[in-house]
Structure 1
Amino acid sequence: MLVAKRLQKELVKLNEHTPPGITIVSTENFQEWLMDIEVLDGNPLYQGEKYRLKFVFSGSYPIEPPEVTFVKDATHPIPMHPHIYSNGIICLDLLDRQGWSPVHNVESVCMSLQSMLTGNTKNERPPGDDDFVRRNTQRPRDISFLFHDNSV
């Protein structure tokens, strides 16, 4: 029940004040939420686009990170970014078990992804995108990405 209690608190806070460019789409249950984000800084790569995020929460949230992916549908593309695969999987240390902290929440994840998109200047997918998408069988939260700061 810790998960439901935590998510209820997050939902109340988001309903009271949703940050600019973040929209609650669906929170019908405490296992899966849909959120839309927009990049508001005028980055020409993302101008006028809305991107849909799917959050899947395990029974261990907030100790473990939610599984967060971009979802493609008729009106929401997967953003082009060197850390976002064409199937919506996101390579971001915040979403990794090692990089996650229970102080993070749905709002901070959305804002981190907005920031990640804001700072992007490359209209490209990660290296090996086609191969990764074709061969990956793991859930996003179980993938062990090598982050630049880990390789030093």
Structure 2
Amino acid sequence: MTTISKKRLAKELRELQTHGPPTGIAVVSAEDFECWLFTIEVLGNTLYEGEKFCLRFRFPGNYPIESPEVTFVVDEKWGAPVHPHIYSNGHICASILGNEWSPVLSVVSVCLTLQSMLASCTKKQRPQDNDRYVLHAPLSPKKTRFHYDDDTV
């Protein structure tokens, strides 16, 4: 990991510790600069009211130039939200994690974007190709070439 990456992540972590995360978001683990875990809740009257999810951020050596790998944790405790842009294995089809990533984005801004994406959802359903994708998906969603054509859900 580069010095720039370490400095940037240290700054983001310091801000989280000083100001706290936004409402509905909580730090579960941020003990190193490789992997951070957050819980995310959508507040208010939404399809996901009362549900809590866990996000995993894995940071590449050249973060923030390159986007982090962000997935919902799917294990015996956690599950991925049922959403048209979230696969049952936790992979997320969101342009800010792919071709629209910018180094000005941060862990908090990604969490807020995903929280907003869930809040604006009008129908709980998996992506149309969920079963096929999950069967053949790479371990990292960053190795998938998602097609971003629907920003209405």
Report the TM range for the smaller structure's normalisation: over 0.9
Letter in 2 for 1:23: A
Gaps of 5+ in 2: none
Q: Name the counterpart of 1:110.
A: 111
**Cα–Cα, structure 1 residues 37 and 104, in superposed 2: closer, same or farther, change >3 Å?**
same
Worse-matched range after superposition: 119-128 or 74-83: 74-83
1:1-152 matches, cutoff 5 A: 1-17=3-19, 18-43=21-46, 45-96=47-98, 98-137=99-138, 139-148=140-149
Letter in 2 for 1:49: E
Q: CA deviation at 1:138?
A: 5.4
Letter in 2 for 1:27: A
Q: Distance in 1 between matches of 2:142 and 2:133?
A: 15
**Corresponding pairs, count:** 147
Q: CA deviation at 1:72?
A: 2.1
Q: Distance in 2 between matches of 1:138 and 1:49?
A: 25
Gaps of 5+ in 1: none
Letter in 2 for 1:22: I
Q: Percent identity?
A: 51
The two structures have a TM-score, normalised by structure 1, of 0.92
Q: Distance in 1 between matches of 2:131 and 2:45?
A: 29
Instruction: Map Cα deviations across residues 7-61 of structure 1 (whole Å, 9 max, x no partner).
Output: 0100111112211001000011100000111001220x21111110000000010
